[in-house]
Amino acid sequence: MGLRLAFLADGESVHTKRWLTYFVGKDYDVHLITSSSMPIKGVKIHELRFSLVRNASLRAYASFPLRVLKIWKTVKEINPDILHAHYITNYGVCGALVGFHPLVLSPWGSDITTDPESSRVKNLFIRFALRRADLVHTASAYTRLLELGCDPKKIFVQQWGVDTRMFSPQARSRSLRSSLGVDSGYLVLCARYWEPLYNVEVFVRAVPLVLEKIKNVKFVMLGGGSLEARLKELAYRLGVYDNIVFVGRVPEEEMPRYLASADVYVDSYSGVRVGSSRRIVECGTSGVSQTARQAMACGTPQILSDRPGTRLLDWFSGLLYEGLNSRVLAERIVHLLESDKTREDIGLKSRKDALRVFDEKMLIEKWKVIYEVMLK
């Protein structure tokens, strides 16, 4: 058996499952310390009885001493070579308080974009965790980590991996398109959760504007969430309910078929939200989401909001639109649907860049080196 890896992370998250599965069966002894978990084949799960979900309230920090003690005892029992905590606001902070080294932290997004601004206590905890870490892994938030006081020598920039064999153009399914009502015409897909943070209303409001120009388009929404009734009511008011298929949540293994079967993938997340008094609030500058990476691997052209983290990427070849602007988003969708060559060019380059930049097997080999170097 090779290295023994212990992870601190949300065991119910598909991202955690995907990450840990990278190392299973590759000469690693993989352990997960979590507050709640679904079974993950090949992973030894240590489920501790306390509430530590990603969006835990500030009040939860009052019981940190007991949680840290439980985690400390578990880490001591596992005796890992590396402790790797995902999502800094809770698991990362606990990992830092445990005092184990080497410690790797991987922020996921809002833990370093919005959480530090939500309270002074969270800000202090996050900065503390970054100081205690031996390595901080990020896909695109290098500048933000510097703003939070992270030592640049500790920052390791690498994209999240995608299984490019599973997510590929070959996953395109004519039967799926037919079941969604797309025997001919176009399919435009959005897969963000139906929650306020992800600006999904922008996608719905763009639908009638697209249909003014192109009639044979079906819009598909994956994700599900608390805004379902509101989004459907909006679609009714706009007169486009019959043009949108509200699929909701789908199993991870079904995602390649959906992404590869779409003609255009849209990410509605803008990095901003409308706060109280209709004020625009910045809530993140991260670049390309994991689902957008998967769409790239499927060779499906993408449309993302114009954010600093996206603009700086030399491997992103999709289109950008002004966040929260449904009219501009609709213009981008129409542009792609009207140009077969543009869609083909973006799709081919996206697939090529996916293989080059974030192929899962390639990245795992890099992580093997990183872990081994940290132990020398």
Task: Report pLDDT digits (tens) over 207-265.
Answer: 999 999 999 999 999 999 999 999 999 999 999 999 999 999 999 899 999 999 999 99
15's CB contacts (< 8 A; 6+ apart) are 86, 108, 160, 290
Q: Per-residue pLDDT for 68 more than 90?
A: no
pLDDT in tens, 161-197: 899 999 999 999 999 999 999 988 999 999 999 999 8
Residues 3/26, Cβ–Cβ less than 8 Å: no
162's CB contacts (< 8 A; 6+ apart) are 290, 293, 294, 296, 297, 354, 358, 359, 360
Residues 206/329, Cβ–Cβ less than 8 Å: yes
17's CB contacts (< 8 A; 6+ apart) are 11, 38, 40, 252
Q: What is the pLDDT of residue 26?
A: 77
Q: What is the pLDDT of residue 279?
A: 42
* 326-338 and 200-211 helices, crossing angle to 10°: 50
Phi, psi of 375, deg, nearest 5: -90, -5
pTM for this predicted structure: 0.84
Task: Calculate the dihedral angle through the C-alpha atoms of 156, 91, 223, 357, rounding to the nearest 10 degrees.
Answer: 10
Tokens of 226: 């608390």
Q: Compute the distance between CA of residue 303 and CA of residue 332 in angstroms, rounded to an integer.
A: 7
Q: Compute the distance between CA of residue 23 and CA of residue 367 in angstroms, rounded to an integer.
A: 10
Within 10 A of 184 (CB to CB), how many other CB atoms are there?
A: 7
Within 10 A of 210 (CB to CB), how many other CB atoms are there?
A: 24
How much helix, strand and coil, in percent to the nearest 5, is found in the chain?
50, 20, 35
pLDDT band at residue 37, thresholds of 50, 70 and 90? Answer: confident
Domain ranges of the chain: 4-161+359-374, 169-357
Higher pLDDT, 49 or 47: 47
Instruction: Classify residue 160 by its DSSP letter.
Output: P
Which helix (H) or strand (E) element contains residue 241?
none
Of 115, 97, 94, 7, which Cα lies nearest the Cα of 52? 94
* 200-211 and 228-238 helices, crossing angle to 10°: 20
Q: Per-residue pLDDT for 109 more than 90?
A: no
Higher pLDDT, 255 or 48: 255
Write the single-letter amino acid at 374: M
Q: What is the pLDDT of residue 55?
A: 45
Tell me whether the CATH fold assigned to 4-161+359-374 matches the one assigned to 169-357: yes
* Span 272-291, average pLDDT: 55
Residues 121/64, Cβ–Cβ less than 8 Å: no
Query: Does CATH place domain 169-357 in 3.40.50.1220?
Result: no
Helices (H) and strands (E) in the chain, counts: 16, 15
Within 10 A of 251 (CB to CB), how many other CB atoms are there?
A: 7
Q: Are strands 280-282 and 272-274 parallel, antiparallel or unpaired?
A: antiparallel
Q: Compute the distance between CA of residue 253 and CA of residue 5 in angstroms, rounded to an integer.
A: 26
* 360-374 and 14-23 helices, crossing angle to 10°: 70
3-state secondary structure of 118: helix
54 alpha-carbon distance from chain centroid = 13
Q: What is the pLDDT of residue 313?
A: 76
pLDDT band at residue 58, thresholds of 50, 70 and 90? Answer: low
285 alpha-carbon distance from chain centroid = 13
Higher pLDDT, 79 or 120: 79
Class of domain 4-161+359-374: alpha beta
Q: How many residues does the chain have?
A: 376
- Mean of the per-residue pLDDT values of the chain: 89
DSSP string for residues in 265-292: EE----SEEE-GGG-EEE-------HHH
